[in-house]
Structure 1
Amino acid sequence: MAYGLQDVIIQKEMLLEGNQNPARKLLEKQKLEALLGLCETTACRRQVLLSYFKEEHSGGCQNCDTCLSPVATFNATESARQALSCVYRTGQQFGVSHLVDVLSGKDTDKVIRFDHHRLSVFGIGKTHGAHHWQSIFRQLISKGLLNIDMQRFGALRLSSSCAPVLKGQCEVFLRPISPRKKKLRKPAEKSAPLASISLNQTLFDALKQMRLDLAQKMQVPPYVIFHDRTLLEIAQKNPLSIEALKSIHGIGEHKLEKYGSTLLGVIGAQHASHHG
């Protein structure tokens, strides 16, 4: 099953940005977490699947892949405790990339800015690579030991069930972490130049600058604010009202409420400048 932690974060972000009512969003979130748990389980998949539908099964169905080819596990208790401790020590306010940097002992600007190089967890996991820690975090999330806080752009938070692990009262067994395979790069396809697309280039540049300013202020990647496709569509359609913004791809109720006024300010300023 080929997927990564970023896939999980993107799916949860899409749920948050959707137009469904809160009850529907909660249901879809639970489905996603159940699917992640099914993907990561080392137990009988039939047992896990039936338990989702409130049916009991003793396991060992001898039909699913984990029964026919039992999954090897390793005692990941030390790595799990280090990862959970890092989330706690950094205030449960950061995403996986930053947490991996802290564990790996990397003196990034962000690590220095928040004084995380002074924490006891700084560099305690530097004997492992980033791929190791990304897998550890993904599996801890699937086990319910960590939660993804989408209101804080994918920051990880401790769940109540992680207490016994941190206190050394239980062990954690996870799937082995395979070495990352190098991908063969394909020649990049040349995209159509922006000039060939009917858009307001000045507005597009202004929107990108706005996105960059917001991303730096919130300390998140720019794509978390808006994808290029969204900014391109705005520059093409030039929406001048909240209602018009609703028709733009990638702008749900959450982003409309959070960034709608800012977007209209940038669009309005460019519109006035062009027609002034």
Structure 2
Amino acid sequence: MKKRLGPVFWIGLIVILVINVSPYLWTLITSLKQQNEIYNVKILPKGLYFDNYVQVISESGFLTNILNSIVVSGATALICIIIGVPAAYAFARLKFRFQNTLFMLVLFITIFPGIFIISPLFSFLKEIGAIDTYFALILPYVAYFTPLVVWILTGFFRTIPRAIEEVAIIDGCGIFKVITLIILPLSLPGILTVGIITFTLSWNEFLFALIFTSSDSARTVPVAISQFQGIHSLNWGQMTAAAITATIPIVLISVALQKYIISGLTAGAIKE
């Protein structure tokens, strides 16, 4: 007999939903208001004001900033996967000296504050003339997010039964064929999941983007949004319109790959 969910559950679910949805709804409403309406008590605007979006898209370099974010985040995700997949497979399947110590070091790097390396990294990038370029962002992002990819994929690879690989090896497959023809197809949900996570983290990163870029030629979305301000006040209408516009690519990618994300996240929780 199925157990019915009580009213406490539904009330709690509604409260959590309201808490999570309210900031996004408020941002959307604010983006459709005129500047003089934003500080009014009324929540809803008198009419839909789309000029904020028009100004963000046509009268500023924000589309260039979105393109910069796509290039930087896409390159970061791709490089992190290329490096992280073989490293994660090694941690999951091979036995070598100091394996546990190295894996703990990977976990430590994932929580290491980026502010500690800002100064020496800025000096290095300035020395090689990479400031205000894509490379100035991709390099630290790859160094920072690859350990996270290794950590997540190691747990995912451990959920794949070893028997599948052993049978393939008995049939004459080398380790390279085992990885490319068996492990990678089976791991596609996990790989796509960490790719999206890395893409999103790179897309939202602010500190490195603020310090290492100074013009629209390399400036990414988070820093560009912070630039929508007047001399004496913030232009909340354009800022929120820019935030909504910048969210659309992430939402589209997440919706398109939703089934892979769900299967990738749940598979990592299953023990072999």
TM-score by length of 2: 0.26
Q: With a CA cutoff of 8 Å and minimum separation of 6, indicate the structure with the bigger relative contact order.
A: 2
Using the size of structure 1 for normalisation, the TM-score is 0.26
Greater percentage in helix: 2
Q: Determine which structure has the larger strand proportion and give its number.
A: 1
